[in-house]
Amino acid sequence: MYRHVEKVAQEIREGAVSVSTLLLAFLWSVPGTLQEDLLSKMSAPPKSDAPLITFNDLAEADAFVFGFPTRFSMMAAQFKAFLGATGGLWRTQQLAGKPARIF
């Protein structure tokens, strides 16, 4: 809501890029789960300018660092929905062996 996770992600990205001129690091967001009219009624802050990640982006990446806010020690519903939809990538082993971290 206050973009704390996005700020941390930007710092992680900048740190990763600073150690290697060959490294490409991208900052993406996941699709939301609430409709725009409901977000408006909730006076939600504007969405991030980061592009939405696709399953193809995941398949092409060499590694991942995922960040998301928590609600009662659970990952955000938006990220849970996105991760839950990656079953096809796991079934075809497109994500196997790729290092991943979360914050």
CATH assignment at residue 46: 3.40.50.360
Number of domains in the chain: 1
| Helix H or strand E segment including 71 | strand 70-71
**Alpha-carbon torsion 64, 27, 55, 30, what sign?**
positive
Note down pLDDT in tens along the chain; length 103 residues.
567 888 999 999 999 889 877 778 898 988 887 788 887 788 777 778 889 999 999 999 999 999 988 878 888 888 899 999 999 999 999 999 999 999 9
Three-state secondary-structure class, residue 64 = strand
Q: Domain span at residue 47?
A: 4-102
- Nearest of 85, 72, 99, 91 to residue 31 by alpha carbon: 85
In 42-95, which ranges are continuous DSSP H helix? 55-60, 77-84, 87-91
